[in-house]
C-alpha cells in the first residue's frame, strides 16, 4: 500500500465518493448489497413462515455461505418459524454472494 503524501486527501475523497456512498460500497464488498437486504426485509414474515429449511441449509453449506456451526445454531432454535428467522438474521452478514445463493436454493 502506498504511503500517503503529506497534505494529500485519502483516495476515496479524491474519487469524490460521499460518506454514505462509500459505506454502501464497502458494505457491498464485505456484506450483502443493501438492495438485497431490503428485499429480505420486505419479505421477512412470508419467508419465515414458508421456508423449508433442511435442503436450503444444505445448499448454503455447499456454497460456503454458512458453516456447519451456523447450521447447528439455526437448527437448535425451537420451531421452524424461529429457525427461519435465525437464518434471515444471519444471511445479510454472509457476504455479497449470500443473496444469490439463497435465491438459487429457493428455485432448486
Whether 99 and 36 have beta carbons less than 8 Å apart is answered as yes
Q: Is the pLDDT reported for residue 62 higher than 60?
A: yes
Give the model's pLDDT for residue 94: 95
Average pLDDT, the chain: 81
Give the model's pLDDT for residue 30: 66
Average pLDDT over residues 63-87: 98
d(C-alpha 88, C-alpha 82), whole Å: 10
**CB atoms closer than 10 angstroms to residue 76:** 10
pLDDT in tens, 11-46: 333 343 334 444 444 444 468 999 999 999 999 999
Is pTM, for the whole model, over 0.75?
Answer: no
**CB atoms closer than 10 angstroms to residue 2:** 5
Give the model's pLDDT for residue 108: 85
Least confident span in 2-11, 13-22, 67-76:
13-22
Domains and CATH numbers, the chain: 34-107 (1.10.533.10)
Amino acid at each position: 500500500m502506498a504511503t500517503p503524501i503529506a497534505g494529500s486527501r485519502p483516495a476515496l475523497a479524491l474519487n469524490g465518493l460521499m460518506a454514505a456512498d462509500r459505506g454502501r460500497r464497502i458494505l457491498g464488498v464485505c456484506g450483502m448489497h443493501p438492495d438485497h437486504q431490503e428485499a429480505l426485509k420486505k419479505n421477512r414474515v412470508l419467508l419465515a413462515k414458508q421456508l423449508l429449511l433442511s435442503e436450503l441449509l444444505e445448499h448454503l453449506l455447499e456454497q460456503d455461505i454458512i458453516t456447519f456451526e451456523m447450521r447447528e445454531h439455526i437448527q437448535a432454535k425451537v420451531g421452524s418459524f424461529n429457525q427461519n428467522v435465525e437464518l434471515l438474521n444471519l444471511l445479510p452478514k454472509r457476504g455479497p454472494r449470500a443473496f444469490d445463493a439463497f435465491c438459487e436454493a429457493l428455485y432448486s
